Amino acid sequence: MSKETPKLLIIGWDGATFDVIDPLLARGELPHLAGLIARGVRGRLRSTVPPSSAVAWPTFATGRDPAGHGVFGFYQTETTSYQRRLVSSRDVHAPCLWDWLGAAGLRAGVVNVPVTYPPRPMHGFLVSGMLTPSPQETFTYPAELGPQLLARQPAFPIESQVMHAVHGARSRGELAQIITAWTDAFHANVCHLLAGQDWDCFVVVYRATDIVQHGLGLPQPGASDGDEVQQTYRQIDACLGALLARVPADTNVVLVSDHGAGPAHGRFMANNWLYQRGYLRLRRGAGLLSKLPAWRRVPLQRALHRLRLGALARRLPSALSTWPAPAPRKRHAHDLIDWRRTRVFIPTTGVQGLPLRLNLAGREPLGCVRPDGEAQTLLTELARELEALRAPDGQPLLTVVWQVEGDANRLLSNRGPDLLALPREACYYSIGAKLDLSRPLLAGPARRAPGQHRLEGVLVAAGPAIAPGLRLEGARLVDVAPTALHLLGLPTPAEMDGRVLAEALRPEWLASHPPRVEAWSMEGSAGAAGSAYDAADAARVEGALRALGYLE
Ligand SMILES: [Zn+2]
């Protein structure tokens, strides 16, 4: 980096939306964000499809669409076994912004970006984000940084611990209090790293916004000063002010959210639909289990306690006391499916969209759909049937946004979904992947997730390279990484799907820094293949995701 190239600070506000921000700006309640907007640009930032945190943050990090980095949701289905496993940094098959910076000799600091666990070696330092199982695991690079952070802030919990606490919250106020305290502890460490470490580019993601919006929904119009979601925005605006006070005045600053947010009106039980339409078939006997409503599956012992018959429960033979208790995981459709007769399945879970994959002969282990004409006919039929579904307001429930086109070879080599549908935003039904035939196709919203994601996120930027006073149109999350490299004086690697947001830059900056694309190659993911989690770690992370409606 030449001496004149300013440093770059990138701040993520997960799930932040102008729908919450603008009323607060109008009342003068986000002074630091207002300051950035006044001297820079603002605009909506288009998320990934689907707008899931697990998909969007890897796109932010790599400048690649999901097909380019390989993460399509919180889970991957193993191509050899149909086993589902949680994604991790090992599944991100493209170099990240900080890898490109390191190759150019620039130091990066990366804090709390989702899907960076387990940390990969890089030039600089990294604290892994969402999907980190516990502080007992190595969650930093270099490894010795983690214990140092924990020693400074013993109450510095990993997000999965916080989510468990949030799950137990008995009121809106208690939930907000847990998140506020966590954000304070987190922010203290961020300030410590920002001031104490050497960096050219510092990236930090605040997750509080997304967590409160999931757990509490969006503020009602005219919400009072005590509204907990608005309080969270005020808190992270104060954090933003503290960060700005700690960096050189000529730092370029970019603030993004990975997606927006809005109310959830209910859930579309997608696996129930696949089953009812005959696309998905169940193993013998599994149908009966999936037809039992959830309350009937409460173990007998717990049921007796609920009926104040604890004494009787204690005298039950142990084999009987836990009956019928299928393990919760067993209720996921993957465990009940008859793969020899199933034509279509959901390959990953993400409540923000409906990905479908054909059980394709020659690609899946027990594939039964022929990759020639039969596959294309099936995709067309699926798209037609999905678009014919109606929400209670009479309008379409879903829009099919993407499907594989081309010949059989294209299908056979496809790693992601073969078809993807998104909920209509105005009457948003999240996707329920649980197979629970006791529920109607359109179920109520998940109790703990009154809020869900939207495609339009937030972009604000200011600094010596950024044009003042502009409103941007058409910016996408995938454009952030190429723009960040450009702001640090580097070309866009040809493999990136995004572009430099030149319209956000000052003409005089552009004259001296013309954007350029270069065939610049680097090895992809350096991590080992396969899962990064043992069973206990996976259970910890999954429980945390489920606690706030990220998973069913
Ligand atoms: Zn997110």
Structure token digits, residue 258:
């990975």
Q: Report CA(259)–ligand 1 centroid distance (Å).
A: 6
Q: Catalogue the E-assigned strands of 390-546.
A: 398-403, 419-423, 429-432, 442-443, 451-454, 456-462, 470-476, 492-493, 517-518
Q: Report CA(206)–ligand 1 centroid distance (Å).
A: 10
d(CA 483, CA 494): 13
**Sequence spans of domains, the chain:** 8-264+452-490, 266-448
Q: Report CA(280)–ligand 1 centroid distance (Å).
A: 30
DSSP helix/strand/coil, 206: strand
To 5 degrees, how large is the angle CA 337–CA 164–CA 161? 110
d(CA 270, CA 398): 11
Q: Report CA(14)–ligand 1 centroid distance (Å).
A: 5
Q: Report CA(83)–ligand 1 centroid distance (Å).
A: 25
**CA 267 distance to own-chain centroid:** 18
Q: Report CA(114)–ligand 1 centroid distance (Å).
A: 8
Torsion of CA 271, 273, 279, 285, to 10 degrees: 60
Write down the pLDDT at residue 331.
52
d(CA 474, CA 459): 11
Q: Report CA(168)–ligand 1 centroid distance (Å).
A: 22
Output the pTM of the full model.
0.89
Say if CB 459 and CB 43 are below 8 A apart.
Answer: yes
CATH 3.40.720.10 fits 8-264+452-490, yes or no: yes
Q: Report which DSSP code applies to 234.
A: H
Q: Report CA(210)–ligand 1 centroid distance (Å).
A: 6
Q: Report CA(477)–ligand 1 centroid distance (Å).
A: 12
Q: Report CA(13)–ligand 1 centroid distance (Å).
A: 8
Per residue in 371-428, pLDDT (tens digit) is: 999 999 999 999 999 999 999 999 999 999 999 988 899 999 998 999 999 999 888 8
Per residue in 426-464, pLDDT (tens digit) is: 888 888 888 888 889 998 877 666 788 899 999 999 999
Per residue in 156-182, pLDDT (tens digit) is: 668 888 888 888 888 889 999 999 999
Which residues have C-beta within 8 Å of that of residue 468, sequence separation ≥ 6? Answer: 39, 40, 41, 462, 506
Burial 227-254 (b: 16+ CB within 10 A, else e): bbbbbbbebbbebbeebbeebeeebbbb
Which residues have C-beta within 8 Å of that of residue 32, sequence separation ≥ 6? Answer: 237, 238, 240, 241, 244
491 band by pLDDT with thresholds 50, 70 and 90: very high
